[in-house]
Amino acid sequence: MSYSLVGPTTRELDGGMHQMAAPEEQELSQAQTEKLLQFQDLTGLESMDQCRRTLEQHNWNIEAAVQDRLNEQEGVPSVFNPPPSRPLQVNTADHRVYSYIVSRPQPRGLLGWSYYLIMLPFRLTYYTLLDVFRFALRFVRPDPRGRVTDPVGDVVSFIQTFEEKYGRSHPVFYQGTYSQALNDAKRELRYLLVYLHGEDHQDTDEFCRSTLCTEEVVTFINARMLFWACSTSKPEGFRVSQALRENTYPFLAMIMLKDRKMTVVGRLEGLVQPEDLINQLNFIMEANQTYLVSERLEREERNQTQVLRQQQDEAYLMSLRADQEKDRKKREEQEQKRQEEELVLQSALAEERKRRNLEEEKERKSECLPQEPPADDPESVKIVFKLPNDTRVERRFLFDQSLTVIYDFLFSLKETPEKYQIVTNFPRRVLPCLPTEEQPNPPTLKEAGLSRSEVLFVQDLTDD
């Protein structure tokens, strides 16, 4: 087994979604826009122009573009021209990706080497023909794994197949897409362990039965991290395989939030034993624990700042609502005052109109009154009127004149109230001065039983 570091920097697979920049001169199709956002999501690039240029250079092949971007970050040549592998020394202090590779054991003894040398030509021939066949098949039929149409279905199908073959005693699989697992790990600030299942690899069955499904490994993974897995024969697993670029199987990658981006911090490749797997995962977690603690502190600080800002906003809104309520009440009071003043003014105007109309009516009544008869006229009646304000008014009338005349006379006086009735003193009775339905023509003074000299009282009915 060997230990190595891959590249001078970490692979960054940021699960966050960045807002798109202003539209380019050439409008993108919906499929290209989705690839552009997906590429930005996987690489963590903030510049949409750079993302678009990279995808255009790779004919909008997102797998090749992501791999080349990761190669650039790691300081290795393009994926289309892979360099020969060379051993790298472990240096976790440089914050590089920790890589733990378990090599297959070398032949031992004469019998082992003899078997190895005998089988070597057959293996070389088999793998060469297999590679040639796969290469030729690309021109006839494109790899169907290149099109991811149902990523969740790919993961669920793999889980069902895994349980049918290896049983239900296994780490809890994340039942969602790779992007969803990244987002959940980022949101919950947890480690994400990614397992790529190579169905055709000779060590896969032994790893699943003897390592992955053991009780200690299951307990350790379930308690410490999220676990996402998929077969590379599925489009979703193949897409993740192209992004992570594993060298052999079984393959495990540890991903965490580092420097605000989802980053691969450890790679485990080859047939690893349960105890060794737990030790290596513990080593990776301990080496990166400070970053996770820092992220938690930063997130807590951001949350506190957000809560403080929210409290300030709520206080501001409460103050604003209070000011608005004060303004509303002030406007209502002003409006009510204006309405009251307008009502008083209208009432005063109505009273003034009523007063003028009453004066005009009094003048008309005064002009329509018959002349006062002389004192020596035998048909005249002298009447003294006692008004409600204790003033006395004297005037002569004729016996044959209607009681309406004395009513109109009193009405024409300024001292007379607006509504009144005329009452005799003894016996006390109200004179019918105004016409009614029963008596449309009021009686004359003589018919009313008045003598040549009378004292009549004017009773105010305004309040009634």
Give me the residues paired with residue 11 across strands.
Answer: 264
pLDDT tens digit sequence for 74-132: 554 444 444 433 332 222 233 456 777 665 555 556 676 676 677 768 767 866 776 67
d(CA 200, CA 209): 15
Amino acid 279: pLDDT: 94
Average pLDDT, the chain: 81
Q: Over 90: is that where the pLDDT of 166 sits? A: yes
pLDDT for residue 395: 92
For residue 14, is pLDDT > 50?
no
Q: What is the pLDDT of residue 123?
A: 64
What six digits make up the tokens of 237? Answer: 């697993």
CA angle 156, 157, 160 (to 5 degrees): 85
Task: Note the pLDDT tens digit of each residue in 296-353.
Answer: 888 889 889 989 999 999 999 999 999 999 999 999 999 999 999 999 999 999 989 9
Quick one: pLDDT at residue 105?
Answer: 56
The rounded percent of the chain whose pLDDT value lies above 70 is 78
| Range name among 11-25, 165-179, 223-237, 432-446 with the lowest pLDDT average | 11-25
Q: Are 263 and 257 in contact (CB under 8 A)?
A: yes
- From residue 72, alpha-carbon distances to 58, 61, 65, 173 in Å are 14, 17, 11, 32
Positive or negative CA dihedral for 326, 327, 333, 336? negative
Least confident of 30-34, 158-162, 291-295: 30-34
Q: How many CA atoms lie within 13 A of 267 on its CB side?
A: 26
pLDDT of residue 138: 57
> What pLDDT shows up at residue 49?
80
Residues 6+ away with beta carbon under 8 Å from 232 = 145, 196, 197, 198, 199, 238, 241
